[in-house]
Amino acid sequence: MTWLRTELLRWAPTDLHYVFLTSILALTLFWLFRRQRKISMIEKIPGPKGLPILGSALDVNVAPSELFVKLCDFCEYGRVAKVWIGPQPYLLISGARAAEVILSSQKHLDKSRDYSFLHPWLGTGLLTSTGSCCRESMGSKLLTPAFHFKILEDFVEVFNQQSSVMVQRLQKKADGNTFDIFPYITLCALDVICGWFPNLGLVS
């Protein structure tokens, strides 16, 4: 067996690194092939023409108050639009039917890595959970029946009444100047919730 050990020792220093480099090259080519296939599919989706490498990163590098306006500009490309932020593509869905396909899917449950930034703050809950954890979430099972269309139909009148009140309040601010809409939305949501209670029999 001495000759076998000698041959292995003679072969290892000279040929082992070729095997290693070949494996690395094969894995790299496989990754590039999969990525190119992914890119070719994404490029079929309309969206802004980004810069090389940076994409549209400079366009979204704005103040938080301007970011929503910028995203609305991107949505003008279609109900589903693509935006490249560096090497990472993002899809903006602004159509109800397109969103329904994603939200009702039992297959596409894995959230992006961006949600990992919320874990230290929110933990792993209904918003940040993924995969089977998201599917089996008790919160999801409890909340879904409460927002069924048949149940929500009973509260359409409450929605309409409180929305009309909010519109009347907003008309006083429609003078061309900017203002904070958050308090109005908050009060409207509170009025809607309080309007539910009599219908639910919780308030006499």
Q: Where are the domains of the chain?
A: 1-43, 149-200
What is the percentage of the chain residues whose pLDDT exceeds 70?
Answer: 70
> Does residue 59 have a pLDDT over 70?
yes
The chain-wide mean pLDDT, for the chain, equals: 76
What is the arithmetic mean of pLDDT over 117-132? 67
Question: Where does the pLDDT of residue 29 fall: very low under 50, low under 70, confident under 90, or very high at 90 and above?
Answer: confident
For the whole model, what pTM was predicted? Answer: 0.51
* pLDDT score at 201: 41
Question: Where does the pLDDT of residue 203 fall: very low under 50, low under 70, confident under 90, or very high at 90 and above?
Answer: very low
- The CB-based long-range contact list for 39-47 (8 Å cut-off, 24+ gap) reads 39/89, 42/82, 42/89, 42/91, 43/82, 45/78, 45/80, 45/81, 45/82, 45/91, 46/77, 46/78, 46/81, 46/82, 47/74, 47/77, 47/81, 47/82, 47/83, 47/84
